[in-house]
Amino acid sequence: MGKISILDLQSKKQKGEKITMLTAYDYPFARLLDEAGVDAILVGDSLGMVMLGYESTLPVSMEEMLHHVKAVKKGVKRAFLIGDLPFMSYQASKEEAIKNAGLLMKAGCDAVKLEGGKEVFDTVKFIVDMGIPVLGHIGLTPQSISKLGGYRVQGRDKDSALRILESAMALEQAGAFGIVLECIPYLLAKLITEKISIITIGIGAGPFCDGQVLVLHDLLGIFEDKKPKFVKVYANLSPIIKEAISSFIDEIKTKKFPDFSHAYELPEEVWEEILKKVK
Amino acid present at 122: D
Is 190 within any annotated ligand binding site? no
Residue 84 assigned as binding residue: yes
Q: Give catalytic status of residue 194 as yes or no.
A: no
113 assigned binding-site residue: yes
Closest to 46 in 3D by CA, of 133, 154, 151, 149: 151
User: 232 — alpha (psi -120 to 50), left (phi > 0) or beta?
Assistant: beta
Catalytic residue, chosen from 55, 63, 166, 182, is: 182
Q: Is 172 annotated in some ligand binding site?
A: no
- The answer on whether 253 is annotated among ligand-binding residues is no
Q: Cα(185)–Cα(217) distance, rounded to whole angstroms?
A: 24
- Residue set of the binding site for Mg(2+): 45, 84, 115
User: Which residues are tagged catalytic?
Assistant: 182
Query: Can you say which residues are annotated as belonging to the binding site?
Result: 45-46, 84, 113, 115
